[in-house]
Structure 1
Amino acid sequence: MTAQIRLLHRLPHAYRDRLLALAKEVAFEEDTRIFEEGQRADRFWIIRTGTVTLDLRVSERTRLPIDPLGPGDLLGWSWLFPPYQWDFGAEAFSPVRAYEFDAAAVRGLCDIEPALGVALLHGVAEVMANRLESARVKLVEAHRIHHHI
């Protein structure tokens, strides 16, 4: 089961086991807002089943879908960097089951296990780069459509 979880798969077995010891299993019903852009980021998830849509608020009423996330994907990386606020919003597109991690506990583990912290940071950085590129592409597409370029 753990092998399909990409972020965890990057970690050596001992670190993966230490991290999973901090996880609790949670579920979100379809259409549940998991978090909002700008709110406090005090946890993160690794999706086990289902789909979550990341979005970006572009106006008071409009959210631009950025990325669909599915099994094995990391949901949330803003917990790792001050000021610990979500950069995107997230909503369950379908029923979701996930591992939930308390951000402070994971940061504490990384402090006492620096090698685990470095491995985790490398994995999160890769996720961040992919998500930011996806957001950039979506925003350019939305701009082109809006301005008929």
Structure 2
Amino acid sequence: MLDALPPESRERLVAHAREVVFPAGARIFEEGQRADRFWLLSSGTVQLDVRVPTRPHAVVDELHSGDLLGWSWLIAPHVWHFGARAVGPVRALEFDGAEVREMCRRDAELGRSLALFVARTVAQRLHRSRTRLLDLYGPQGLAALSDSSEET
């Protein structure tokens, strides 16, 4: 993400970051909670998941070093669409969402660059989720579904 920003904006943004560490297994945030921050992963793996009634959380994506964790801080109503869990120890730069939104309001170039980066991130994750669904419900899954519907 930082490479997508103009150098001056990058420096100002990083000046507002703080380093954090999440231990293995830590819940970083829960689906439905207020989204007030985001992270750039320095090391480790984070799983994004969704709640499934009467079952364990379903993993929908995995993030690694260099990835952006959290985009809901940018888009109202600022509520997490997924949950996140550290698979092993995770190091990251943490940013305050409200503070960064205010920086974007004052610096149109920073705001445009961040908005484009977040849009690309959301599009990539949507593509990966679609691929996962096709793996789960692709030709074999669809054939099984159509066979069972013909019997009814």
Normalized against structure 1, the TM-score is what? 0.88
Find out whether 1:80 has 2:74 as its counterpart. Answer: yes
SS in 2 for 1:129: helix
Instruction: State the SS of the aligned residue for 1:71.
Output: coil
Say what the alpha-carbon RMSD is for the aligned residues: 1.7
1:30 and 2:24 aligned: yes
Give 1:89 deviation, angstroms.
0.9
1:108 aligns with 2:102: yes
1:29-108 alignment to 2 at 5 Å?
29-108=23-102
**Partner of 1:137: helix, strand, or coil?**
helix
Please give the TM-score of this superposition, normalised by the length of structure 2. Answer: 0.87
Structure 1 segment 5-20 matched on structure 2, within 5 A:
7-20=1-14
Q: Counterpart of 2:73 in 1: which secondary structure?
A: helix
Structure 1 residue runs of 5 or longer lacking an equivalent are: 1-6
2: CA distance, partners of 1:51 / 1:78? 19
* Structure 1 outlier segments of 4+, above 3 Å: 139-149
CA apart distance, 1:12: 1.2
Q: Give the direction of change, closer, same or farther, for the CA distance of 1:65–1:36 in structure 2 (3 Å limit).
A: same
Question: CA offsets, 1:78-115, max 9 Å, x none?
Answer: 01011100111110011000000000000000000011
Residues 105 and 19 from structure 1, CA distance in 2 versus in 1: closer, same or farther, beyond 3 angstroms? Answer: same
1:17 is aligned with what amino acid?
E
Q: What is the SS of the residue equivalent to 2:32?
A: coil
CA drift at 1:139: 3.2
Report the residue type matching 2:101 in the other structure: R
DSSP 3-state at the match of 2:116: helix
2-structure distance, mates of 1:119, 1:24: 21
Secondary structure in 1 aligned to 2:76?
coil
Alpha-carbon offset, residue 143 of structure 1: 4.2
Give the 3-state SS of the residue equivalent to 1:98 in structure 2: strand
- Identity percentage of aligned residues: 49
Question: Cα 1:103–1:60, aligned 2, differ >3 Å: closer, same or farther?
Answer: farther
For 1:33, give the aligned amino acid: R
State the shift of 1:133 in Å. 1.8
